[in-house]
Structure formats: C-alpha cells, structure tokens
Amino acid sequence: METDGDLSDAELLTALAAGDLGALRELYDRHAPWLSIRLTRRCNDPDLVSDALQDCFTVVWRDAGRWREDGEVAAWLWGIAVRRLVSRLRTRPRARLVPLAADERDAVPSAEQSVLLGVEYGDLGQALAHLSPEMRAVVQATVLDGLTSREAAQLLGIPTNTVKSRLHRAKAQLRAELAGGPA
C-alpha cells in the first residue's frame, strides 16, 4: 500500500498498523522537525534528543494499532516523545551543555533568548535541574508551554491529578531551593 501525501495523520496510523512503512515515513517527515525542536527546548544534548526521537518513532511503528483515536495524533506523538526523553534522562541525569559556535557567541541575543537563557542558566535553571525528570516535565509542560493540567496529563500520558501533585511538589521544592533552604 503506497501512502498519499493528502492522508490525515489518523489515516496514516491506520495504514501503518496495516503494515505500510511508507505511512511511517510520512508521519516522520511531518512530525519529526517540530518534535525535535520541542525536545531540544527540554534537553540541550542533541544526542539524547535524537535518541528520544528515534525511540518515539520506533514505538509508533510498533504500537500504531494501539492509538485509540480519541485525540490528535500530534498530541499522542508528543506524549511518546517526551516520555522517551524522560526515560533517557533518567539514565543520564546531567545533559551536557552545547557550546556555542563563535558567530553565535558574538551575536546579540533576542529578548526571548535572554529570558530563556536566564531560566536555563540562572538560579531558576539550577533549581529546575534539581527536580526529578518527571517533575521537570510537568513544570515545563504547564509553566513554560502554558498547558492546562488536563492537556499536560494527556501529553505526558499520566493522570491529571498526578500532574497537579507533581506540580505542587515541584513548586514547593523550587520555592525552598530559591529561598536557600532545604528542599
């Protein structure tokens, strides 16, 4: 079965579940670029991001028939990708910093880049680094991405109450860390 570029994501998953590897190629071409960008916002190690992305599409290939058709395929893919990244981060708790190229060091950062650099490398970044990968994923989904608890739960593949409790614990730990007290 040869896939057509006009097929919806849901139709491509159905075709993939029936054994059409062209459907996997089409899904990868559509979704890998934005998934890679979003994963890179969570981890600055390109090797971990690449591995998580490959793991994601391996899961998609293996489990295409398990998609329940009760939401967007993109949200399902994001949930898989972020869980693969969290899993990889558990085995390597400290991702290495990516050095900037000479021309990037000399460039004046945009306002958004300055804020993100302050979050990543400032006191807040250090406090975020001390959170467990699970709590950090919830903070990033709800605070940095602006998702509701329900949306974050769907994307992360965990119950809404788990998102809320992890966020509550993460905020308490961040407050204590930023205040200089014990977590």
**pLDDT digits 0-9 by tens, 57-103:** 999 999 888 877 777 888 888 888 988 887 887 776 544 434 444 44
pTM tops 0.85 = no
Q: What percent of the chain has pLDDT over 70?
A: 77
Q: What is the CATH number of the domain that holds 69?
A: 1.10.1740.10
Torsion angle of the four alpha carbons 56, 58, 63, 65, in this order, in degrees rounded to the nearest 10? 100
Alpha-carbon span 158 to 105, nearest angstrom: 39
- Using DSSP's 3-state secondary structure scheme, residue 152 falls into helix
Structural domain includes residue 83: yes
40 pLDDT higher than 80? yes
Residues 134 and 57 in one domain: no
Alpha-carbon span 26 to 12, nearest angstrom: 8
* Predicted local distance difference test score (pLDDT) of residue 182: 56
Cβ-Cβ contacts under 8 Å for 134 (sequence gap 6 or more): 86, 166
Which of 97, 123, 158 represents a domain boundary (last residue)?
97
Q: pLDDT band at residue 35, thresholds of 50, 70 and 90? A: very high
118 pLDDT higher than 70? no
At residue 4, what are phi and psi to the nearest 5 degrees?
-110, 140
- Asked if residues 164 and 150 have their Cβ atoms less than 8 Å apart, the reply is no
Of 153 and 93, the structure prediction assigns the larger pLDDT to: 153
